[in-house]
Chain A
Amino acid sequence: MTWIVRNLWLIPALPLLAAALSALAHRRHRLFAASAAIGSMTLSLLLCLIAFAEVLRLVSQEHIARLPFNFDWFQVGSEWLKLGWVLDPLTAVMLVMVSFVGLLIFIYSVGYMAHDDNFTRFFCFLSLFAGAMLGLVIANSLLLLFICWEIVGLTSYLLIGFWYQKPSAASAAKKAFITTRIGDLAFLLGMVWLYSQAGTLLFYNYGAGCLEQAALMKLVTQTTSLGIAASTGIALLIFCGAIGKSGQVPLHVWLPDAMEGPTPVSALIHAATMVAAGVFLVARAYPLMAAHGGGLGLSLASAPALKVVTWVGAITAVFAASIAVAQDDIKRILAYSTVSQLGYMMLGLGVGGVAVGMFHLITHAFFKALLFMGAGSVIHGCHEEQSIRRMGGLRKLMPITFATYAVGMLALCGFPLLFSGFWSKDAILHAASTWGVSRTPFYLATLGVLLTAFYMTRQVLYVFFGESRRPEAHATSPHESPGIMTLPLVILAGCSVLLGLIGTPAWPWFSAFINGQHARFELRGFAESGVLTVMFSSTAVLLIGLGIGWLLYSNRLNAESASPDAFEQFSPSLFNLLRNGWFVDTFYGATFVRSAAWFSDACDWLDRWVFNGMIHLISRLTLGASRLSRSTDAFAVNRTFDQSCRGAALSGRLLSRLQRGRVQSYLQIIGIAFAGFVLFLIWGHHG
């Protein structure tokens, strides 16, 4: 076992250490916090690259490129619960992506957050996030993955609510945590189920892990009372966690609100890395997801869990894209776009396997981080203005931002040949077109391409073209951002173009690497049935989307910011429906939130009146009974009335002495009694 496998834990440990140190640092130590975060992240990136090289070496030597390292954590009965980490192509790819994008965003944040009072705390949270996210990636145990998963959720909560004085930020943070927790609890249930069935939560343990043949065979043969295999039930519960974290329908509502956080947070956590963790989870647990009664992953189409993944992904892809069409906030458009793209990744996993979904995850991480950081640069330049209706004409004022943003936009739309998004999205579309169960996901995904092209065109036209529509109150004009912010943009733009080269049909290096194989360069890859057809049709759809966007918005660019949107004029009711996100939030508010509030009031009422009422009833009855007995006593024992009078007077005196509040006397009695008790025991000893 090589050095890097044994010491893989250093990769998450370094940012965690930086987080701990800057948590203890004083608010003034800004330079220290930033350099600790960036320094540790750089070191982590180096280690990630070493790990990546190690996997490359193993793959090239045709070794089994999966190296787990497990250790004991705690004792349960005769067994030890083990945790561990694993180095395989999936880990390696994610590690490099997370640490590289993370490092760029850390650098960008130095510029973006320069004027914030809580700069130190910001870098503390960012480092904590990076550590937990990297831990999630290397985890070789579902439990360790879950632990990191929750800590990542915590940092997301902390960073969405970073500007805690804004009530909207505080409530968005809470909403994000609660919504994802709904999924996480199902995940927890799936995990304890898996643990009790397979007896282990390690993924890989030289044949004894829960993702390996023996355990899976056991899981697929056991059926539950619901008639589905245990493996399917577990896989679906775990997938619920992914639905929450990756903002899939119906738990997508938190992600647009999460844009209350600072923009670097949106770029890093709510676009590139954390929200992709759900996709990563499905990829990691793929053997389980693909397991079904007919054999282990022989034909993907018949695995019930993957069918669910496919449908959820396809529906989310279109649903979120349709909402993005009618948003005005630059970050909310990107947020819905992220939800939609995550849907594509899920779709890719469902129909095409790990490599297809993961490839889109990686390319998306780069161009979406680019878009968010570009949006951040725009917001920064426009003095915290976020509505695209009040922007305009920024092309000339912010040239670098514009150029890089255009690259990101074209990559997101999947513009042919030059841009990475084209290759990764086409792989998904191609896989969907060959899915044996239904063609509908393919049509949905194609519709999504149209919508994506449309809303991105709308956004770019509003922001960068035409004349400025800013209200006159702003004296200073927009300006280009400093170099520390534009440099990461340029690097990411480069990646958004070049990354496509590793996953073309002619040279499918990425999917070969994920599967631990060699890739050969063969132009015949294009000739495979359907590949070119899908490419041409998706390109045509894309151009239609761009065209509609251009037709609708290019001649209205100089209109007043308050005037209705072109699409709104076209169909006000549809626009309103989409702007409000199909009223999903309203629906949840009217049903779940309200019934929870009602139920909690009911519980409180139950407590105060029913349970407590019963107690009061019993005490009244007891009191009544004792009064009754006293009065019968008084009459029956009337003859000794005088005596009882005297007795009452005596006891009254005694009682009043107690009630004078002299607890000391009471305590002295207790004390003396106990001293006596102890002495008695000691004598009992000798006796």
Chain B
Amino acid sequence: MKAFPFLSVLTAVPLVGAIAILALGDRRKDRARPIALAFSLIALAMTFVLYRRFDSASGELQFQEWHAWIPSLGAEYHLGIDGLGLVMLLLSALVVTMSIAASSKIREREEVYFSLVLFLQAGLFGTFTALNFFHWFIFWELSLIPAFFLIQLWGGPRRAAAATQFLVYTMAGSVALLLAFLALFQCTGTFDFPRLAELAQGGQLVPALAAHLTWHSFTPEQFALLLFGGVFLGFAVKVPLIPFHTWLPAAYTEAPTATTMLLTGAMSKMGVYGFLRIVLPIFSPQLRTVLTPLLWLGVCTVVLSAFAALAQKDLKRILAYSSINHLGYCMLGIFTSASLTGNSVALTTAKVADLDGVILQMFNHGLTAATLFWFVALLETRSGGLRSLNDFGGIRKVTPVFSGLMGIALFSSLGLPGLNGFIGEFLIFRGVFPLATWAAALALIGLLVTAIFILGILQRVFSGPLNERWSNMPDLTVAERLALLPPIGLMFALGIFPQLVLGIINSTVIRLVQQVRY
């Protein structure tokens, strides 16, 4: 008897939801949001069932589905998740639900909006479960198109430029990725991630390249580096790493805020996920040869983005740069974990701490950043769209609950111990320190500047004399408080019991670190 195809069904749920909403048409568009919310809750519940059934003691791929598809193209339908995949599924399901809950402001063509959101969710689920490049890439691109339209059609005043830049940028990255994988397929005959990883770890990847690719005096090692470069570009744009990031502030700012929650909460994790799922297991030796420049890129990402955030006035732009900063720590963790450490037990432990921290940070950043943008959306509905630091002042007096809860989320983003952000960053620094001490020390500047701009938000929006313009600003309604309770509660829960996430990923990370040793 075949096992129940859990992951396929999970991906199908939002897809069915999207089509159902479209089928409704614009006659009953007031139903669109409740239906979308229902489907996203079903998906959330399913990921929770996965979480319950998942064997966290094993770092192997689970819930695998494997079917031949187009043998001549190396296309197989191969799904599976390990701890990393599971955490990403939980996060995407959560963030999409939050985003739909936060998008009550969408008042035109709702049925299109919400079906696009569900399409995007299907793309996310597909990306995080696919193990064969062929359909993985389809899902990867599928998530891009709805995001483009969400920005293009519901965005702010300069949405057209932002959406185009977003699309062109990520497309360029995707093309590089695609070319690299086509070359890999030509040399190895497979698109399957685990099999490619096995080849690479067995040292057969470079010989395979040597057998199929020749061009002037290029050595196979240089070809391997070139392929790595292509894959790297695809993911570096998505994360993003400086200097591949300029699409992000524009896209995050111009997108409707509920969509920004999706972009930052879930989609920005696709790039980091790609590094963990594809780059580390397949391209570690190549990564290692350019480790120092990459570490510099990571440090620059952390530091420059934090300083850039300090110079912004628009809340969404500040949070956009803060997003780059937070994922910069992940990149530092990933790069250092590829360094060659031989058989040293202490350094292996450091790598485990590193990658544990990276995955925890991914989840935490997704949760916190999405929640923060939600608060910005709530603020915008109250202020008629204003969201500059200079537009407010002292609103803590009239909206104490809103200010208190947003304060919690801001401190979570700052990395205050006791809330979720801290342990991830602690583990990353604990891992990076012995592997690349200078990078850890320089990255601390990012942590300091983050504190400065976050306290700047608290000071300029909430403190000081009340701006009389907002003396009638309503505080959070009961419904809004209830809706915000789960994410805020989760911030506390993960701050106090990080084992909730670390328990899932630990075995996966141990396995990954062993894989990276080749």
Q: Which residues of A contact B (CB under 8 A)?
A: 27, 73-79, 143, 146-147, 150-151, 154, 157, 161, 164-165, 167, 169-171, 173-174, 177-178, 181-182, 185-186, 188-189, 192-193, 195-196, 199, 596-597, 599-604, 606-607, 611-612, 614-615, 619, 661, 663-664, 666-668, 670-671, 674-675, 677-678, 681, 684-685
B418 touches A147 (CB 8 A): yes
B430 touches A192 (CB 8 A): yes
A181 touches B448 (CB 8 A): yes
Interface string of B224-259 (1 = CB under 8 A from A): 000000000000000000110110010000000000
B509 within 8 A of A: yes
In the complex with contacts A178-B452, A192-B429, A77-B353 CB distance below 8 A: yes
A196 touches B463 (CB 8 A): no
B444 touches A196 (CB 8 A): no
A684 touches B242 (CB 8 A): no
A-B contact pairs, 13 of them (CB 8 A): A27-B400, A75-B503, A76-B506, A77-B506, A151-B417, A167-B465, A599-B307, A600-B311, A611-B246, A661-B153, A667-B115, A670-B119, A674-B15
Roughly how many angstroms separate A664 CA and B25 CA in the complex, as a whole number? 9
B308 touches A603 (CB 8 A): yes
B499 touches A189 (CB 8 A): no
Q: What's the minimum C-beta distance from A145 to chain B, rounded to whole angstroms?
A: 10
Q: Which residues of A contact B464 (CB under 8 A)?
A: 164-165, 167, 170
Interface string of B488-508 (1 = CB under 8 A from A): 000000000111001100100
B451 touches A177 (CB 8 A): yes
User: Given A178-B451, A186-B444, list of 11 further CB < 8 A pairs?
Assistant: A27-B400, A74-B497, A165-B464, A167-B465, A174-B455, A192-B426, A196-B434, A603-B307, A603-B311, A663-B149, A685-B67
Q: Which residues of B contact A174 (CB under 8 A)?
A: 455-456, 458-459
- Tally of A-B Cβ pairs under 8 angstroms: 186
Q: Who on chain A is nearest to B2 by CB?
A: A685
Interface string of B458-499 (1 = CB under 8 A from A): 110011111000000000000000000000000000000111
- Of the residues A77, A666, A681, contact of B349 by C-beta under 8 Å: A77
Q: Which residues of A contact B400 (CB under 8 A)?
A: 27
A604 touches B455 (CB 8 A): no
A171 touches B459 (CB 8 A): yes
B243 touches A611 (CB 8 A): yes
A678 touches B312 (CB 8 A): no
Q: Which residues of A contact B423 (CB under 8 A)?
A: 74
Q: Which residues of B contact A143 (CB under 8 A)?
A: 426
Top 7 A-B pairs, shortest CB-CB distance: A77-B352, A170-B463, A604-B311, A147-B417, A600-B310, A603-B307, A164-B463
Q: Which residues of A contact B149 (CB under 8 A)?
A: 663, 666-667
Roughly how many angstroms separate A600 CA and B452 CA in the complex, as a whole number? 12
A600 touches B308 (CB 8 A): yes
Roughly how many angstroms separate A664 CA and B463 CA in the complex, as a whole number? 46
A75 touches B499 (CB 8 A): yes
B397 within 8 A of A: yes
CB under 8 Å from chain A, chain B span 299-314: 304-305, 307-308, 310-312
B8 touches A76 (CB 8 A): no
Q: Who on chain B is nearest to A619 by CB?
A: B168
Roughly how many angstroms separate A199 CA and B310 CA in the complex, as a whole number? 36
A664 touches B417 (CB 8 A): no
B451 touches A189 (CB 8 A): no
B106 within 8 A of A: no
A196 touches B433 (CB 8 A): yes
B459 touches A170 (CB 8 A): yes
B22 touches A76 (CB 8 A): no
In the complex with contacts A170-B459, A671-B19, A77-B429 CB distance below 8 A: no
B136 within 8 A of A: no
Q: Which residues of B contact A603 (CB under 8 A)?
A: 304-305, 307-308, 310-311
- Of the residues B112, B168, B444, contact of A189 by C-beta under 8 Å: B444
B455 touches A178 (CB 8 A): yes
Interface string of B439-459 (1 = CB under 8 A from A): 011001001110110011011
Q: Which residues of A contact B498 (CB under 8 A)?
A: 73-74
Roughly how many angstroms separate A571 CA and B348 CA in the complex, as a whole number? 64
B109 within 8 A of A: yes
A188 touches B502 (CB 8 A): no
Q: Who on chain B is nearest to A73 by CB?
A: B499
Q: Which residues of B contact A607 (CB under 8 A)?
A: 246, 249, 304, 308
Q: Who on chain A is nearest to B305 by CB?
A: A603
In the complex with contacts A75-B502, A178-B455, A189-B304 CB distance below 8 A: no
Roughly how many angstroms separate A75 CA and B353 CA in the complex, as a whole number? 9
B396 touches A604 (CB 8 A): no
Q: Which residues of A contact B153 (CB under 8 A)?
A: 661, 663
A684 touches B68 (CB 8 A): yes
Q: Which residues of A contact B463 (CB under 8 A)?
A: 161, 164-165, 167, 169-170, 173
A615 touches B246 (CB 8 A): yes
B447 touches A78 (CB 8 A): no
In the complex with contacts A178-B452, A685-B67, A196-B311 CB distance below 8 A: no
B77 within 8 A of A: yes
Interface string of B264-308 (1 = CB under 8 A from A): 000000000000000000000000000000000000000011011
Roughly how many angstroms separate A188 CA and B448 CA in the complex, as a whole number? 12
